[in-house]
Structure 1
Amino acid sequence: MTEYPAEPWHLAGQAYLSVWRVPPAELPALPAGLRPVRVAGSAFVVTAWIDYQPPGQLSYHELLATVAVRGGWRPTGSITEIWVDSATSMAGGRALWGIPKDLAALDFRHGRTFTAAAGTDTEWIATAAFTRRAGAPVAPPTGFRIAQTLHGALKYSPVRARARPHFAVANWNINPDGPLGYLTGRTPLLSVCLRDFTLRFGG
């Protein structure tokens, strides 16, 4: 069995996010008991390329999609698709929080423009390029929850993070026949880079 850290995980690195508006009928399946947040008839998906780096407990790359769901006064999301290039992260994410992590090859190139690509042995998933724009001089703290199914019940996991946010221009290329195909042809509402983040995941 692959060993992994006990929760909470303390992680750090760089993240590149896009927010998408999606018709609720086109969303991927959510865990039983969860409903998407709707505004003017639309639901919302956040995609993220994340490079976990030292001094965090684990170092690996990640691509994920999270649907904003109803969760009371705290922002809450449910991860519907996620790929990592670490067997340790995959095993821990599934066992501790019910996060449906799968393995993939992820290639990240950092610079003024960040580029990323993800694919499996059988298909390509997506590529993207983020060009950083103006940013905040401070790293404000933020908190949210991730809701997944674990052992047949909903598990809400708290997340605390701090990062330096920068607006970004993002260009995505998504496999229309792949697992993120429901985003093909759409333009993100907003894209940001979260520089030098620190994150505490889990209770």
Structure 2
Amino acid sequence: MPFSLLDVPSVSESRVTSDFLATMPPNEAPAPWTVQASAIVWWCKATPAATEALPPALRARGKAAVVIGGMVRYADTPVGVYDEVFGAIGLRVGRHLIGTIPFMSVDSPTSLVGGRGNWSIPKTLSNFTGAPADGDTFAATSATGQHWRVSAAPSVRLGVSLPVFSRMRVIQEFPDGSLRGTRLKANGKMRYANLDVDVSSEGDLPSWLPSGRHKGAVLSSTRFTLGAPTPFHP
């Protein structure tokens, strides 16, 4: 059922105002989405702050185990080309190992309304510099007047590209408090890397998506599909 994009649960860095949303276009790209992208990703052990960053319906059911950060350049999507930064949290809920995304920002208004409207992913707007490439620094800065910035500079540890095949379930809390899951299917190529990550904010983002040198990967020629959400009953 339709819901207000304003009410999508999120951390403070992804919050938007009703006046801001009034300037956004309508969502004309329903799920599923199949996209082509290149990206840099990194991971680290979750802190107690990561559990606090979970949406309420998940925080009551599980404890954060791992944090995954990423910056993506999309070359082909249902809403055109755009860049993205995200912070995701992995946790175990009952028998399920799942991921959820409390923070995401893009430089595309059409992607913003699609993410919020299709999957209750709390996208906001940001500006990007650099590229997701070995030796470059890819950075995102808030474009909505908030004071946060995320940057990552990868150094490839292994020059050989390895195949990537990923199947996971992304669970988001919707404005009505329900949990809905989406199948994410991805394949592509990757090279292991160390990433120098810098996260700054007036909010709590650095407490659970921390700065530092993290293990991760540079992904290329990656294709993935994000399906339509269905009810999740842990």
Do structure 1's residue 95 and structure 2's residue 117 form an aligned pair? yes
Corresponding residue for residue 180 of structure 1: 205
Moved over 3 A (4+): 25-28, 35-38, 71-75, 135-138, 176-179, 183-187
Rounded Cα–Cα distance in structure 1 between residues aligned with 2:199 and 2:102:
16
Corresponding residue for residue 11 of structure 1: 35
Rounded Cα–Cα distance in structure 2 between residues aligned with 1:172 and 1:138:
23
- Aligned counterpart for 1:22 among listed residues 39, 46, 49: 46
Q: Any residues of structure 2 matched to 1:50-89 within 5 Å, and which?
A: 50-54=72-76, 56-57=77-78, 58-71=80-93, 75-89=97-111
TM-score, structure 2 as length reference: 0.75
Gaps in structure 1 of 5+ consecutive residues: none
Secondary structure in 2 aligned to 1:33?
Answer: helix
TM-score, structure 1 as length reference: 0.85
Q: Any residues of structure 2 matched to 1:102-141 within 5 Å, and which?
A: 102-109=124-131, 111-120=133-142, 121-134=145-158, 137-141=161-165
User: What is the CA distance between 1:170 and its match in structure 2?
Assistant: 0.7
Corresponding residue for residue 71 of structure 2: 49
User: What is the CA distance between 1:15 and its match in structure 2?
Assistant: 1.1
Residue pair 2:105, 2:124 contacting (<8 A) in 1 also: yes
Rounded Cα–Cα distance in structure 2 between residues aligned with 1:124 and 1:66:
17
- Aligned counterpart for 1:31 among listed residues 49, 55, 58: 55
State percent identity of aligned pairs. 25
Cα deviation per residue 1:26-81 (whole Å; 9 max; x = unaligned)?
5443123324556xxxx310000011113x33311000000002256664211011
Q: Letter of the aligned partner of 2:86 in structure 1? A: L
User: What is the CA distance between 1:186 and its match in structure 2?
Assistant: 4.5
Secondary structure in 2 aligned to 1:114?
Answer: coil
Rounded Cα–Cα distance in structure 1 between residues aligned with 2:210 and 2:161:
34
Rounded Cα–Cα distance in structure 2 between residues aligned with 1:198 and 1:81:
22
Cα deviation per residue 1:103-151 (whole Å; 9 max; x = unaligned)?
1112233543131111123424122211223255453421111111124
Q: Which has the higher helix share?
A: 2
C-alpha change, 1:64 and 1:52, in structure 2 (3 Å) is: same
Rounded Cα–Cα distance in structure 1 between residues aligned with 2:28 and 2:155:
34
Corresponding residue for residue 166 of structure 1: 191
Rounded Cα–Cα distance in structure 2 between residues aligned with 1:26 and 1:196:
30
Gaps in structure 2 of 5+ consecutive residues: 1-24, 229-234
Rounded Cα–Cα distance in structure 1 between residues aligned with 2:171 and 2:117:
14
